[in-house]
Structure 1
Amino acid sequence: MRVLVVDDDKLVCVSLKTILEVENDIEVVGTGCNGNEAIELYHKLNPDILLMDIRMDGLTGLEAAETILKEDSNGKILFLTTFSDNEYIISALNIGAKGYIIKQNFECIVPSLKAVNAGQNVFGDDIISKIPSLLDNSSSADFSKFGITQKELEVITLIAEGLSNKEIANILFLSEGTVRNTLSNILQKLNLRDRTQVAIFYYKNI
């Protein structure tokens, strides 16, 4: 796994490089200290994952991530920050980051990187617990106006509750393949990238 580390604290960059390269399957291919360097190094080094801080001088991590993901929708960005501000969390979700973890939980960094590399989204329990209240919208929505069928809405609702395809299949008495196909249709209809964005869509419109 090739990782690019970007943090405005050079000591943090050095420490992260040391911690990560203890792992046999992780290589830190570069380090940067601001959003502009993140974009430049991302294009130059093509890492598997960009591990990046949010608050940095000049171009922030959020701004850099948005630029990178507009150009590479398959990019994997994991935010590592000391801040769990609501504004930052919701921005990271909307941009399409694969994860948001807190620096203080340093023991989660390596497992989180491996999970993201495997295609999972990683948001700590303290972050996940905030999402429904952050995205609360008291107005009810007619999901049919988005072209969503009743079956698709049932799948969306269960995804928003954090259930896996297998768990959804068991609840709705469907095969996992049907759930996967339904999710693919939902993503296409709503022009979304992944399950996290499906959950955001749901909470914004209930």
Structure 2
Amino acid sequence: MRVLVVDDDLLLARSLATILGAEPDIDVVGVGASRQEAVAGFRERRPDIVLMDIQMPGSNGLDAAEQILAVDPDARVVFLTTFTDDDYIARALRMGARGYLIKQDVVQIAPALRSVMTGMSVLEGKVLERTAAMGLAADTATPEDTRPPVFDALTEREYEVVQAVSDGLDNAETAGRLHLSEGTVRNHISAILAKLGLRNRTQIAVLYYRGSQRP
């Protein structure tokens, strides 16, 4: 997938671009720091997803999203922000945003974007609670909700290890991606094998890709 990252903190935007660009299925096609750069970047590069902050100088991400959706009503806009304000959430969902994530755990961003590419809308847990309180109906899921049912017995972190293993990462690479020690990764893999009744890493990857091929 091709992703445009926009955040008024350019250092943060570049850091997110580096993290996402390390994913084998994500190509970061541009980085911006303002509404104007978001709209121009979308027009020029036509990314699959615009990952954008709400608050930006001179305007905000909501205004940028409206302009982008005016250009292409099918554009996929995902907000990544620290704000859970009801007005922001309601406006974002009503305009057709595909996701509203809170800046907390960056390892959840890539799985969320993959869910958006499958046609889902993705809301972080606190935002989902607010939409329920506001009575806003949406076909949404949190990133952890998108896992195949066969992995229900795993913790969120164990499932992230499954995804890393399925991407072909070894223990050191998995540790780097998830900011863990190699020993912790080994312990997680042992727990995964025991919970799922599997024998090795290859079986983990096979089960992951079979489970992901849902109708």
Residue 9 (1) aligns with residue 42 (2): no
Q: Relative contact order, CA 8 A, sep 6+: which one is greater?
A: 1
Which string of whole-angstrom CA distances, capped at 9 and with x for unpartnered residues, describes residues 62-105 of structure 1?
Answer: 00101111221110000000111111111111111000000113
Q: Are 1:80 and 1:100, in contact at CA under 8 Å, matched by a contact in 2?
A: yes
Do residues 59 (structure 1) and 59 (structure 2) align? yes
Q: Give 2:42's aligned residue.
A: 42
Taking the aligned partners of 2:54 and 2:43, their CA distance within structure 1 comes to 19
Letter in 1 for 2:10: K
Aligned to 1:112: 112
| Alignment partners' CA distance in 2, 1:124 and 1:26 | 21
Tell me how many residue pairs correspond in the alignment. 141
CA distance in 2, matches of 1:39, 1:161: 26
1:130 counterpart SS class = helix
Q: CA deviation at 1:132?
A: 2.9
Q: Using the alignment, how far apart are the partners of 1:38 and 1:25 within structure 2?
A: 22
TM-score norm. by structure 2 comes to 0.62
Partners of 1:17 and 1:52 lie apart in 2 by 12
Normalised TM-score (structure 1): 0.65
CA contact (8 A) 1:54 1:80 kept: yes
Are 2:22 and 1:22 aligned?
yes
Q: CA–CA distance in 2 between the matches of 1:14 and 1:24? A: 18
Listed as ranges, the gaps of 5+ residues in structure 2 are 142-215
Q: CA deviation at 1:162?
A: 6.8
2:32 match: 32
Quote the Cα distance in structure 2 between the aligned partners of 1:162 and 1:94: 13
Contact 1:6-1:50 within 8 A present in 2 as well:
yes
| Distance of aligned partners of 1:123 and 1:161 in 2 relative to their CA distance in 1, 3 Å threshold | closer
Corresponding residue of 2:71: 71
Residue deviations 1:108-146, cap 9 Å, x none? 11111111111110011211111132248xxxxxxxxxx
Deviations along 1:153-206, one digit per CA (max 9) or x if unpaired, are: xxxxxx76979xxxxxxxxxxxxxxxxxxxxxxxxxxxxxxxxxxxxxxxxxxx
Higher mean alpha-carbon deviation, 127-136 vs 54-63, is at 127-136
Aligned partner letter, 1:5: V
Residue number in structure 1 paired with 2:121: 121
CA change 1:2–1:161 in 2 (3 A) is: closer
CA distance in 1, matches of 2:92, 2:108: 18
> How far off is 1:21 after superposition?
1.1
Cα distance in 2 for partners of 1:134, 1:112 equals 23
The DSSP-based 3-state class of the residue aligned with 1:4 is strand
CA contact (8 A) 1:36 1:59 kept: no
RMSD between aligned alpha carbons? 1.9
